[in-house]
Chain A
Amino acid sequence: MFDSVEDVQQRFKSARYIASRRISTVVYLSERMGRPVLIEGPAGVGKTELAKTLADITNRPLIRLQCYEGLDEGKALYEWKYAKQLLYTQLLKDRIGELIADAPSLPDAVARIAGQDDAFFSFRFLSQRPLLSAIQSEQPVVLLIDEIDKAEPEFEAFLLEVLSDFQVSVPELGTVKAKHIPLVVLTSNNARELSDGLKRRCLHLFIDFPAPAEELEIIRLKVPEISAKLASAVVAAVQKIRALELRKPPSVSESLDWARSLVILNAQTLDATLVESTLTMLVKYEKDLERVKGALDKVLAP
Chain B
Amino acid sequence: MDERILEFIGDLRRAELRISPSEAVDALAASAEVGLVDRETFKATLAATLVKESRDLETFERLFNLYFLDLEALGEGIKKALGPEDPRVQDLLDRLADEDGLELDDLTELLMRGEGSEMEMAIRAGGQNAGLERLMYFLQVGYFSRKIQDKFDWSAIERDIEKIMRMLEAKGLDPGQLARIRNYLELRLEAFNRMIRQHVERELERRAYRQGEKLTREVLSDKPLFALTPEEVAQMKNVVARLARKIKDALALRQRQEQKGRLDTRRTIRKSLSYGGVPMEVFLKRRHREKPKLITICDVSDSVRNASRFMLQLVWSLQECFSRVRSFVFVSEIAEVTQAFATYPVERGIEWALKAAPVDYHCRSDFGFAFSRFANSELESLDRKTTILLLGDARNNYNDPQAWALRLIRERVKGIIWLNPEGQWGWGIGDSVMPMYAPSCDLVRECRTIGQLGEVVDNLVHHWWRRGH
Contacts and interface: CB of A to CB of B under 8 A. Distances in A.
Interface of A: 5, 21-22, 25-26, 28-29, 32-33, 35, 38, 40-41, 69, 82-83, 86, 90, 152-153, 190, 192-193, 196, 199-200, 202-206
A25 B45 contact: yes
B28 to A, nearest CB: 11
B275 A29 contact: no
B263 interface: no
Contacts of B47: 22, 204
B52 A204 contact: yes
Nearest to B21: A200
A200 B20 contact: yes
B122 interface: no
B215 interface: no
Interface in B396-447: none
Contact of B33 (A29, A83, A193): A29
Contacts, number: 77
A40 B51 CA distance: 12
A204 B51 CA distance: 7
A5 B278 contact: no
Given A5-B38, A28-B34, A86-B275, A200 B23 contact: yes
A52 to B, nearest CB: 20
Nearest to B45: A25
B275 A83 contact: yes
Interface of B: 18, 20, 22-23, 26, 29-30, 33-34, 38, 40-41, 44-45, 47-49, 51-54, 57, 249, 252-253, 256, 275-276, 278, 280-281
Given A33-B26, A33-B33, A82 B52 contact: no
Contacts of B20: 196, 200
Contacts of A200: 20, 22-23, 52
A90 B278 CA distance: 13
Given A25-B41, A33-B26, A41-B54, 18 more contacts: A5-B38, A21-B44, A22-B47, A22-B48, A25-B34, A32-B33, A33-B29, A38-B52, A40-B54, A69-B256, A86-B280, A152-B256, A190-B54, A196-B52, A199-B53, A204-B47, A204-B49, A204-B52
A297 B256 CA distance: 48
B244 to A, nearest CB: 14
A192 B33 contact: no
Contacts of A83: 275, 280
Given A26-B44, A83-B275, A153 B253 contact: yes
Contacts of B34: 5, 25, 28-29
Nearest to A5: B41
Nearest to B33: A32
21 contacts: A21-B41, A22-B47, A25-B40, A28-B33, A29-B30, A29-B34, A29-B49, A33-B30, A33-B33, A35-B26, A38-B52, A82-B280, A86-B278, A152-B256, A193-B249, A199-B52, A203-B48, A204-B47, A204-B48, A205-B48, A206-B54
Nearest to B30: A29
A28 B48 CA distance: 11
Instruction: Say what secondary structure dominates the interface of chain A.
Output: helix
A204 B49 CA distance: 6
A41 B53 CA distance: 11
Contacts of A86: 275-276, 278, 280
A280 B22 CA distance: 47
Nearest to A31: B33
A41 B275 CA distance: 47
Nearest to B54: A206
Contacts of B22: 200
B176 to A, nearest CB: 50
Of B29, B47, B281, most buried by chain A (CB within 10 Å of CB) is B47
By CB atoms of chain A within 10 A, which of B49, B52, B54, B275 has the most?
B52
Best-buried of B29, B40, B48, B52 by chain A (most CB within 10 Å) = B48
A202 B52 CA distance: 9
Nearest to B51: A204
B256 A192 contact: no
